[in-house]
Amino acid sequence: MSTTRPYPPGDRGPEPSGASGVSEEAASSDVLPASTGGRQVRRLRLDGESGVVPLARDFTRQALYAWGWLPAESADRRAAAEDVLLVVSELVTNACLHAEGPDELFLACDKKVIRVEVSDRGAGQPAPRTPHRAGRPGGHGMFIVQRLCLDWGVLRTAGAAGKTVWAELGAPA
């Protein structure tokens, strides 16, 4: 059992407003109008928060429920949702370990793809360790992201500190 939450991990369903420990303001959700192709967007500010990995996972789980990814009707759909949660965990953890912590989690979903973005103030360049040594502890995060995602990369803004690491996963059929 995790020391950061009083319940075992698992599929608990969408949490009532505020139950994830995210303030209403921080957990605000923006749903774009249908004219943008039905793309739905959510943002979570993480700068200065504690326990950001479970916070980001809970926020993402709530989005997956709102967007119809959960509850999963089949093992394949459940696996797709778990992949999204794992990628969020890996990207947020990477920002914690290598970039002074994440500033924001951004999720966007349309009928075909979910996009995960984690912004931070770090200067480093995330990359899978090469060669990947499966038997060694640690260093598997970006390898996992690379294996699970359709694509991923890093965006930088000229003249600004930090970066945004993004990853895209296919929506379940």
* Lowest pLDDT segment from 89-103, 109-123, 137-151: 137-151
Q: Rounded to an integer, what distance in angstroms lies between the CA atom of residue 154 and that of residue 77?
A: 27
Could you report the per-residue pLDDT of 147-164, keeping only the tens digit for each?
999 999 999 988 888 999
Q: Rounded to an integer, what distance in angstroms lies between the CA atom of residue 84 and that of residue 63?
A: 11
Hey, what amino acid is at 15? E
Residue 71: asked if its preceding bond is cis (omega within 30°), the reply is: yes
Which pLDDT band, with edges at 50, 70 and 90, does 131 fall under?
Answer: low
Report the pLDDT averaged over residues 112-137.
82
Identify the burial level of 143 via C-beta atoms within 10 angstroms of its C-beta, where 0-12 means exposed, 13-18 middle and 19 or more buried: middle
DSSP character for 29? Answer: E
Q: Rounded to an integer, what distance in angstroms lies between the CA atom of residue 49 and that of residue 52?
A: 6
Tell me which H or E stretch contains 93: helix 75-98
Task: Share the mean pLDDT of the chain.
Answer: 80
Q: Give the number of C-alpha atoms closer than 13 A to the C-alpha of residue 168, restricted to the C-beta side.
A: 11
Could you report the per-residue pLDDT of 36-82, keeping only the tens digit for each?
568 999 999 999 999 999 999 999 999 999 999 999 999 999 999 99
The residue behind tokens 């996972």 is 57
Residue 139 has pLDDT above 80, yes or no: no
Between 30 and 139, the more confident residue is: 139
Residue 22 has pLDDT above 90, yes or no: no
Q: Rounded to an integer, what distance in angstroms lies between the CA atom of residue 51 and that of residue 3?
A: 10
Could you report the per-residue pLDDT of 89-100, keeping only the tens digit for each?
999 999 999 998
* pLDDT above 70 as % of the chain: 74
Phi, psi values for residue 51, rounded to 5°:
60, 45
Tell me which H or E stretch contains 170: strand 163-170
Cβ contact 155:164 at 8 Å: yes
Between 133 and 116, the more confident residue is: 116
170 has which bridge partners? 113
Residue 141 has pLDDT above 50, yes or no: yes
